[in-house]
Structure 1
Amino acid sequence: MKYSFNEETLTYTKIERNYKKILKKISYFFLFSLLLSIITLLFFSSYIQTPKQYFLEQKNVNLIKNFKEINQKLDGSSNVLSAIQKRDDDCYRVYSEVNPIPPTVRQAGFGGTNRYEKLEGYENSDILIETAKKSDEILNQIYIQSKSFDEVYSIIKRKEKRFECVPAIQPISYRQLRRISAAYGMRSHPIFKTKRMHYGIDFAAPTGSDIHSPGDGKIILVKKARRGYGNEVIIDHGFGYKTVYAHLYKIHVKIGQKVKRGEIIAEVGSTGLSTGPHLHYEVRFHNKPLNPAKFFVNDLTNEEYDRVCSVH
């Protein structure tokens, strides 16, 4: 209970308490305190993380770090791929006699709709799209390079086969060869005594001397006759090349048989229109006669020639 002093009457007056006002003040106080607490909580909640928020943020930071490392590795892979592409254009394709792949083809992108639309709208969309683009570009370039290697490999294998088939050695060994009795070109025919084109080379050698295939091929003609070329063999070497062997004594092959370079196919004779034992030898390219001398590897020693003939 409280009293108040009245200075005019010099008496004390009893103060009556108004509980409604007190309750109202208390209510206002609590309401204000609650509001202040909410504001304070909202204010600090933007700065203070929950454990879950902290975990997610750290995870996001690690993801960004990983994406940056992946981008660096992709850049490194792109540099290595560029070096391979340069070696392919400057070396492998030059050796294979094919044109380099244009940069517009090697660096070709992807047309059509936006391939990275699903990666847009995120906080880290830029690095996500950049990584995806680099990855796609490298994969596309690897595919193009793979196709280039397939092409070059196929050409090289074909070249290797061509090297094996092209008539590259003379058909009679140096040990058994006596002399070149007639060269390629115009000459006076030894029997008819008239000027005629001689479409091959005549190798004079003893009867029975071995005749070797100058390259891999397939026998397409075995003929025995008393006139003209006499006993004759023709080999199809593929790639447009054929070789002709005439005036033979014995024939050791049959039609359809496959032969290797250096393999014995016949023996020197003097059948048909011939004045003595020799081999008439022709090289034809798409059925057009060529000078056989241009196909000989003349720097082979006797031993090297024997090794070539013994490979098969």
Structure 2
Amino acid sequence: MAKKVKYYYDPESLAFRKLKTKKRKKIGYILLFLVSSALFGFLCFVLFMNVPFLETPKDKIQHREIENLKINYSIIKRKLDNIDEVLTAIEDRDNNLYRVYFNSAPITEQKRREGFIDAHRYKELEGFNNSDLVISTTKRVDELTKALVIQSKSLDEILRLAKSKDKLLSAIPAIQPVKNEDLKHMASGFGYRSDPFTKARKMHEGMDFTAPTGTPIYATGDGVVRKADNSLSGYGNHIEIEHGYGYLTLYAHLSSYKVRPGQRIKRGDVIGLVGSTGRSQAPHLHYEVHKDGKVVNPINFYYGNISAVEYVAISKIANQENQSLD
């Protein structure tokens, strides 16, 4: 096919002359075409790589595996949260109860939960699509493992101290005064609560355990019955037990007594029955723990007959600012 020849009209000579294209301009057109073609090809490639419907079967399988991995790690995270919650409760008992009893220095939060100094510890987990997720979960497992090891060693130390202080351990209030199977619910905890009669916000110096009239009440530690009467205003029939080592427990609103003043009792002995005497809205036991003349939160003294999970649950209920029953 013959190449087309282009002409232009020359007004001076009044004739058509052949149009000549400069060589440099031709090269420019060729370069522009090549650049445009390369850019168009690149855009097509990017579009091809990012359009979902162009996924290969292998890509789809890999995508499903990644999503399953994320779900599994989410489940692991929830389980780690539960473990962390129970461990925190045990650590709290360790520092604020066991170590206080044995005059042993508490373990700092920094020491319990500090991370690992080695910057290359998780190097082999880097460079993957979900490296951040895998590394953060692995770090969490390592930190919890370390905290569990520290807590285990701490409890070994407490056990050694306990063997030399059997009498102290027997005297410390260490169980619930009403068994879980006898409870309707734990009505109110230690702290500021709404007074059932005046509706004013006031300090509630114990814990209320709702149970039917006549439910057995148990001594929470070894000791001697100091009082079994109704001499304290508002408490109705009540019992005070002197445990020694600065500990005293009080059990109020009883329907009847099973002990007398001066009687020596053991932890777990039935000392009275639940009632609603005195300043009370319904049958329940009001229970207080005193240490060195000061009232303290009884929630820290149930390590003898409830698990760590039960301790977490009862703590949540006790910390709710509701209305007390007395």
* RCO higher in structure (CA 8 A, sep ≥6): 2
Q: What's the TM-score once normalised by structure 1's chain length? A: 0.46
Q: What's the TM-score once normalised by structure 2's chain length? A: 0.44
Structure (1 or 2) with the larger CA radius of gyration: 1
